[in-house]
């Protein structure tokens, strides 16, 4: 039978192993150094002080804070003009986005490009991202806990870009940013305030592909945005 001292040391050792395991699984952000097996931790305080989008991306691209990190092919940060006046925010990457590491590159992305071009802008003029940076399995809807985990990253992106307009693509993005359970229909055709930034809600391009009848109201949303945008530019 082990002595009391041996049992005590055994408990201490098991506790150490448990804490290491919990840190590996649920720690803030884990980075793999090139050509090394070790990983280092980066605190929220450090990544929260990023001075550019590229710096922020490098700091968070190996995030494993939620289970989606273990199933992704690529971390899908965002793309576009880092000083854009307009920021499009969807809900989560799909299969094409996960494969390429860029948001809105599949059929929905091609339609989004056409929508942007319809208001006399180009994809490279705006900034495009999602609430989640990793693809949910089977393209299911993001879960609240996943969005809670990823939202601080999105908040930093918004702070760095400083857009004059945010356009939410779809119900989930709109409800989450506005913290409401209101329907997509009731959120459209209005200008909302998101911490001092004008926010407009419209259909997700994937929804327009499923239901082409929604393309006309989506175009009405974009015309409303363009009118407000042109007025803003004229006054500046």
**Cβ-contact 211, 227 below 8 angstroms:** no
Would you place residue 1 in the very low, low, confident or very high pLDDT band (cuts 50, 70, 90)? low
pLDDT digits (tens, 9 = 90+) for 180-201: 999 999 999 999 999 999 999 9
The reported pLDDT for the residue numbered 40 is: 36
Are 164 and 174 spatial neighbours (Cβ–Cβ below 8 Å)?
no
Query: Is 3.40.470.10 the CATH number for 76-235?
Result: yes
The fraction of the chain above a pLDDT of 70, given in percent, is 80
Residue 129 Rama label (left phi>0; alpha psi -120 to 50; beta)? beta
Q: CB–CB of 116/91 below 8 Å?
A: no
pLDDT at residue 6, as a whole number: 59
Q: Provide the pLDDT confidence category of residue 15 given band limits of 50, 70 and 90.
A: low
Query: pLDDT at position 17, please?
Result: 54
pLDDT range class, residue 39, cuts 50, 70, 90: very low
More confident residue, 17 or 231: 231
In which element (H, E) is residue 53 found? helix 53-60
Residue with tokens 């006046």: 85
Mean pLDDT of 47-59: 90
Handedness of CA 172, 178, 184, 190 (dihedral sign): negative
pLDDT reading at 48 higher than 80: no
CB 83 within 8 A of CB 73: no
What is the distance in angstroms between the CA of the first residue and the CA of the last residue of the chain?
82
Least confident of 9-18, 60-69, 73-82, 117-126: 9-18
Conformational region of residue 200, where left means phi above 0, alpha means psi within -120 to 50, and beta covers everything else: beta
Task: State the pLDDT at residue 46.
Answer: 61
141, 200, 201, 148: which is closest to 170 by C-alpha?
Answer: 201
Q: What is the mean pLDDT of residues 15-19?
A: 50
Predicted confidence (pLDDT) per residue in 217-233, tens digit: 999 999 999 999 999 99
Ranges of each domain in the chain: 76-235
The pLDDT assigned to 18 comes to 44
Across residues 32-47, what is the average pLDDT? 42
């Amino acid at each position: 039978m082990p002595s009391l001292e041996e049992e005590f040391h055994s408990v201490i050792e098991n506790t150490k192993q448990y804490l290491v395991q919990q840190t590996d699984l649920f720690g803030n952000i884990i980075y793999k150094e090139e050509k090394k097996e070790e990983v280092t931790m980066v605190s929220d305080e450090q990544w929260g002080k990023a001075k550019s989008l590229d710096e922020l991306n490098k700091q968070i691209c190996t995030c494993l804070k939620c289970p989606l990190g273990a199933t992704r092919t690529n971390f899908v940060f965002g793309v576009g003009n880092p000083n854009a006046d307009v920021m499009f925010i969807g809900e989560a990457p799909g299969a094409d986005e996960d494969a390429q590491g860029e948001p809105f590159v599949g059929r929905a992305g091609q339609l989004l490009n056409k929508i942007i071009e319809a208001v006399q802008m180009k994809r490279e003029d705006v900034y495009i991202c999602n609430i989640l940076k990793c693809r949910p399995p089977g393209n299911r809807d993001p879960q609240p806990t996943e969005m809670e985990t990823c939202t601080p990253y999105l908040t930093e992106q918004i702070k760095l870009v400083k857009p004059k307009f945010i356009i939410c693509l779809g119900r989930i993005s709109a409800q989450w940013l506005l913290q409401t359970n209101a329907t997509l229909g009731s959120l459209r055709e209005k200008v909302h305030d998101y911490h001092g930034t004008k926010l407009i809600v419209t259909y997700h391009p994937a929804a327009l592909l499923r239901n082409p009848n929604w393309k006309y109201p989506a175009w009405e949303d974009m015309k409303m945005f363009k009118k407000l945008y042109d007025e803003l530019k004229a006054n500046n």
